[in-house]
Amino acid sequence: MSTTQPPGAPESAARSEARFRHELYPYRGQDQFMTGTLGYIREALEADEAVVVAVPEARAALLRGELAGEPAVTFVDTATAGPNPGRLVAAWTAWLEGSGEGGRPVRGVGETAWSQARNAAHLSELRQHEWLLNQAFARSSAWSMLCPYDATDGDQAALRSVSRCHPLIHEDGRNTPNGDFLDAGPYPFEVLPAPCDPYQEVSYTYGDLAAVRSKVAQCASDAGVSQEQQAKLAVAATEIATNSIRHGGGSGTLRTWAQDSVFLCEFRDAGYIADPMAGRIRPSARQLGGRGLWLAHQLCDLVEIRSTPEQGTTVRLHMDVQAR
């Protein structure tokens, strides 16, 4: 399991013992949301910390009304990062860095619009993103994050799934350790559902990248993926197939199918991706490799990665199909 220090993340000696605080704040109703979130923000402001707020627009409007003119609070829209939760670690890194110039501590307030998840795969990746934040910012003592969660619907199973990704629970202005937190071991993904019939399958190895692109383009076109999205998919598919050839035993199997207005490409190989943060950190110009999964995350509407030493790696690239 790797940890990643975001570039430029400050860590003063006084804070060297502290860790990234990632708190889930289950609330019921607007009043509780405002009380808990405003309390968290005002505590930050009193400590001369900056705050980055990324919550659904209706909630953001309420907070803006209370914090009008407060220069230390920045509102951001997670939609600008695109539809893939795999882009959010890099987005948060950039937002926090942008507000934390000069080593100033930064608090994030991030509420995921769980109810607007496009499908089960999207929901699963959103949860994994919350869990990955702990890995991504593990050593970033100057950063912390509160994740408001609307628990009004009383869905305890859903709340528990999200809760397991947060080491702390925020309640009545304080945080307490979360006994359900998935602290150790690999993230317990849901098993990927079987491809939807009918699907197409081809094997590939060295020399077959053009054939992989051709198959993906043909099937994507048949499924109604736009030309613009097809161009992005060609790059992503090339990167994932290249990883199979270079790191996954030299070959792989491609499957494509369409399901519920989504076109999917699945790549299976014998390789193992040990680092759960692979593809989540923006590369620098000097970095020699490690851009393949990053590009896939940035170019596709969703990327699912399942990898174990025993079963190898499966990568699913999703492209949403716009209604014609």
Can you give the binding site for other proteins, defined by CB under 8 A? 206-207, 209-210, 213, 228, 231-232, 234-235, 238-239, 242, 245-246, 282-285, 287-289, 291-292, 294-295, 298-299
* HSE (side-chain half, CA atoms, 13 Å) at 36: 27
Tell me the C-alpha distance between 222 and 315, whole Å: 21
Please, what is the minimum distance in Å from the beta carbon of residue 236 to other proteins? 9
**Tokens 């299976």, located at residue:** 268
Residue 73 near residue 51, CB atoms below 8 Å:
yes
Please, what is the minimum distance in Å from the beta carbon of residue 17 to other proteins? 33
Burial group, residue 279, by CB count within 10 angstroms (0-12, 13-18, 19+): buried
Please, what is the minimum distance in Å from the beta carbon of residue 235 to other proteins? 6
Please, what is the minimum distance in Å from the beta carbon of residue 294 to other proteins? 7
Please, what is the minimum distance in Å from the beta carbon of residue 92 to other proteins? 17
Nearer to other proteins, 161 or 205 (CB): 205
Q: What is the DSSP string of 55-121?
A: --HHHHHHHHHHSTT-TTEEE--GGGG-S-GGGHHHHHHHHHHHH-GGG--EEEEE---GGG-SSHH
Residue 201 near residue 254, CB atoms below 8 Å:
yes
The contacts of residue 286 (CB under 8 Å, 6+ apart) are none
Nearer to other proteins, 173 or 290 (CB): 290
Please, what is the minimum distance in Å from the beta carbon of residue 94 to other proteins? 13
Nearer to other proteins, 84 or 178 (CB): 84
Nearer to other proteins, 105 or 279 (CB): 279
**Tokens 């994030």, located at residue:** 108
Nearer to other proteins, 14 or 288 (CB): 288
Residue 169, helix vs strand vs coil: strand
How, if at all, do strands 21-27 and 143-150 pair?
Answer: parallel
Nearer to other proteins, 152 or 214 (CB): 214
Please, what is the minimum distance in Å from the beta carbon of residue 88 to other proteins? 15
Nearer to other proteins, 148 or 292 (CB): 292
Please, what is the minimum distance in Å from the beta carbon of residue 126 to other proteins? 22
Nearer to other proteins, 41 or 281 (CB): 281
The contacts of residue 51 (CB under 8 Å, 6+ apart) are 41, 44, 45, 72, 73, 74, 99, 106, 107, 108, 109
Residue 238 near residue 297, CB atoms below 8 Å:
no
**Tokens 């990955």, located at residue:** 132
**Angle in degrees, CA 283, 189, 88, rounded to 5:** 35
Nearer to other proteins, 142 or 299 (CB): 299
**Tokens 């990746």, located at residue:** 125
